[in-house]
Amino acid sequence: MTKPPFEMEGLDHIVIRCVDLEVMKHFYCDFIGCTVDRYNTDFDLLQLRAGRQLIDLISVDGVLGRKGGAAPGPECRNLDHFAIRINRFEDEALHTYIAAHDIEIVEEGPRYGADGTGPSIYLRDPEGNIVELKGPPGT
């Protein structure tokens, strides 16, 4: 098997179809810490900066969102989960922060990721997508 003519550097972006773009923007900006990078009104595409990567939010009733079928919900998710690499994993401070925002922890424990095994916490965003907060290996 031949190698590709490139080397992967990491997650570039993910696209999440949303029922309520504003609620999702609030979660990813105010809770996770993303910032608005740009908003493409032609496609109802809100691009959020997540470190060096992007999280794209599209409205299910927008141009791009309609291509994906049924709206996300309890029986129809558009992705299993995605991981956001965080630079520190201070267990007590992280749990306090999550509890203060009334966010449910789905599961937690050591998980293998791009940089090796490290601590992680799985959460649900407001529309049921699972978000993993992944700490550095060895912490």
Cα–Cα distance, 19 to 126 (Å, whole number): 10
| pTM exceeds 0.85 | no
- Encode the chain (139 residues) as per-residue pLDDT tens digits: 666 655 666 777 888 988 899 999 999 999 999 999 999 988 888 999 998 889 999 888 888 777 777 787 777 767 667 888 888 888 898 899 999 889 999 999 998 787 888 899 989 989 888 888 888 888 6
Q: How far is CA 67 from CA 3, 24, 60, 64, 80, in A?
A: 33, 19, 8, 6, 19
Alpha-helix runs per DSSP H in 27-128 = 91-100
Residue 131 contacts residue 81 (beta carbons within 8 Å): yes
Q: Please check whether residue 96 is in contact with residue 105, taking contact to mean a CB–CB distance below 8 angstroms.
A: no
Q: How far from the centroid of its chain's Cα atoms is residue 56's Cα?
A: 9
Distance (Å, whole) CA 28 – CA 8: 25
